[in-house]
Amino acid sequence: MSDTSKEDELIANLRIIIEGCATDPIDLSNFSTTTKVQEIGLDSLTILDMFYDIEQETGISIEQEELVDFRTVGDITTLLINKGA
């Protein structure tokens, strides 16, 4: 699978995970690699939920230092691709 289609698949999965985690209504209509996580309006608990679910879904273990190093959805998908998702 090419990196682009892999990324598209990850974005679709990420969107499902975020929708499942969010406690308040969020707008994911323009959800893409350039979407800033902060702009989606996710609170810290939803972000933690999201990372937990990502680890469970992908079987990938995300290190503590990697958790603070993301700003956009693309940062998360790149991290997951680099870790072999």
Rank residues 8 and 85 by Cβ distance to other proteins and give the closer one. 85
Site for other proteins contains 73 (CB under 8 A): no
Q: Which residues are paired to 36 by β-bridges?
A: 72
**Cα–Cα distance measured from residue 43 to residue 65, given in angstroms and rounded to the nearest whole number:** 19
Question: Residue 54 CB, nearest distance to other proteins (Å)?
Answer: 10
**Cα–Cα distance measured from residue 19 to residue 39, given in angstroms and rounded to the nearest whole number:** 15
Rank residues 6 and 37 by Cβ distance to other proteins and give the closer one. 37
Site for other proteins contains 20 (CB under 8 A): no
